[in-house]
């Protein structure tokens, strides 16, 4: 039984909820101690000779962070800025003492890099954006600077990592479930208190098309109670196309209709499913797995045997964790839905996003 199932079981009785509440108080003490050690200088903050920007969140679960990192990296790279990404490589199956570098090295796979960094490296390969993976983010940033002379380093999901100095923090908030029940883990979903918004240079609300305008204003008001000067942007996740993995061809969104089957292992699988339904598809069969789940031959055979004649749809993050012989099992009509993050409000709002990343970007983008 994984931690998510344990938590769900405990939430169904008073003693369990009391245990979670108590655990969250101890967790909060740990967070306060961790932050206090850095504030008082008892733990040293280390800097590297490059601009460092963190793109992270204050909650557990999916906020759309990866798509924000991809948007930032591609926009910077297209403008000729030397950008690198640093990640801890959450839930890597094969760990090494030295940083793992994803950059024109096909022998490295997701097991040693982590599923999200590996996925990003595949998407960003055309832009030559290196990704350096290590639990020691300072060491990873130093390596990125040494090898690639990076002008900016994007710290992927490192808001609670205080050891590496950053020049800006971009915090993502899922508009569908911004703060849970306003409690810290494990009773709630908060990784740290809402006072973390005091460290924000910019806040991006995600999935804004799935909630009301009133709900968005309520979220903004709550954020501004902590930081009344921070810029808050709205964003949506827009589907672009399907990729037929069997033929490696793009398929227009309009070309897949009616009933389908889908599966995912995401922090927020319902967001993926809602997107498919928003495209007019009927989800006749769906599978959900714990975030970062890797797939076995048995999983794929189950999908193939159960879906019948239905198209099977998943995400890029899931696809990179298929077993090597997936082509022997999945023969046809298997698609990846490609999704991009889009900042609402046109070019002026996108300029605010980029200015938080790289001041003066507007002068070089053309």
Supply the DSSP symbol for 95.
Answer: -
- Could you give the CA distance from residue 356 to residue 200 in angstroms, rounded to a whole number? 10
Cα dihedral sign, 311-206-348-212: positive
pLDDT category of residue 366 using cuts at 50, 70 and 90: low
pLDDT category of residue 106 using cuts at 50, 70 and 90: low
Judge whether residue 288 has pLDDT over 90: yes
Decide if 182 contacts 190 (C-beta within 8 A): yes
Judge whether residue 1 has pLDDT over 60: no
Q: Which burial class, exposed, middle or buried, applies to 352 when counting CB atoms under 10 A from its CB (0-12, 13-18, 19+)? A: middle
239: CB partners within 8 A, 6+ apart: 253, 275, 279, 337, 338, 339
The structure tokens listed for 294 are 């890797």
Which residue ranges form the domains of the chain, and what is each CATH number? 3-39 (no CATH), 51-237+342-364 (3.40.50.300), 239-339 (3.40.50)
Q: Give mean pLDDT, residues 161-185.
A: 96
- Could you give the CA distance from residue 61 to residue 273 in angstroms, rounded to a whole number? 16
The structure tokens listed for 170 are 């971009």
81: CB partners within 8 A, 6+ apart: 151, 152, 358, 361, 364
The two beta strands, 258-264 and 231-244, are unpaired
Per-residue burial over 298-313, b = 16 or more CB atoms within 10 Å of its CB, e = otherwise: ebbeebeeebeebbbb
Q: Give mean pLDDT, residues 207-232.
A: 97
Q: Residue 27: what pLDDT?
A: 96
pLDDT in tens, 10-36: 778 889 888 889 999 999 999 999 999
Q: Residue 2: what pLDDT?
A: 60
Q: Give mean pLDDT, residues 282-286.
A: 97
Q: Residue 42: what pLDDT?
A: 96
Phi, psi of 98 (to 5 degrees): -95, 155
Please choose, from the candidates 343, 268, 321, 308, the residue with its C-alpha nearest in 3D space to the C-alpha of residue 115: 321
Highest mean pLDDT among 88-102, 106-120, 189-203: 189-203
The structure tokens listed for 67 are 């798509």
pLDDT in tens, 228-259: 999 999 999 999 999 999 998 999 999 999 99
């Amino acid at each position: 039984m994984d931690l998510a199932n344990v938590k769900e079981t405990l939430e169904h009785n008073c003693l369990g909820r009391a245990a979670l509440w108590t655990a969250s108080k101890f967790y909060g003490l740990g967070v306060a101690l961790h932050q206090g050690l850095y504030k008082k200088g008892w733990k040293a903050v280390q800097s590297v000779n490059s601009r460092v920007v963190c793109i992270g969140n204050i909650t557990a679960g999916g906020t759309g962070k990866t798509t924000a990192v991809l948007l930032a990296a591609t926009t910077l790279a297209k403008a000729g800025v030397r950008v690198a990404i640093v990640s801890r490589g959450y839930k890597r199956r094969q760990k090494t003492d030295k940083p793992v570098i994803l950059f024109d090295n096909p022998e490295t796979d997701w097991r040693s890099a982590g599923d999200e960094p590996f996925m990003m490296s595949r998407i960003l390969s055309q832009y030559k954006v290196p990704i350096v993976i290590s639990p020691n983010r300072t060491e990873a940033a130093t390596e990125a600077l040494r090898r690639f002379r990076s002008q900016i380093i994007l710290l992927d999901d490192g808001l609670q990592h205080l050891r590496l100095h950053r020049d800006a923090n971009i915090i993502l908030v899922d508009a569908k479930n911004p703060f849970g029940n306003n409690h810290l883990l494990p009773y709630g979903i908060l990784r740290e208190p809402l006072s973390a918004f005091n460290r924000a240079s910019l806040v991006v609300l995600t999935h804004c098309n799935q909630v009301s305008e009133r709900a968005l204003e309520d979220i903004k008001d709550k954020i501004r109670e902590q930081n009344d000067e921070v810029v808050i942007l709205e964003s949506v996740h827009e589907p672009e196309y399907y990729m037929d993995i069997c033929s490696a061809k793009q398929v227009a969104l309009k070309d897949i209709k009616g009933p389908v089957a889908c599966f995912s292992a995401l922090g927020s699988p319902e967001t993926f499913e809602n997107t498919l339904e928003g495209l007019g598809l009927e989800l006749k069969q769906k599978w959900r797995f714990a975030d970062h789940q890797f797939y076995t031959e048995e999983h794929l055979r189950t999908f193939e045997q159960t879906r019948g004649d239905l198209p099977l749809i998943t995400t890029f993050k899931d696809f990179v964790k298929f077993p090597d012989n997936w082509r022997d099992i999945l023969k046809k009509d298997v698609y990846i839905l490609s999704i991009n993050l889009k900042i609402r409000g046109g070019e002026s709002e996108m300029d605010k996003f980029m200015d938080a990343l790289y001041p003066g970007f507007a002068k070089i983008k053309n």
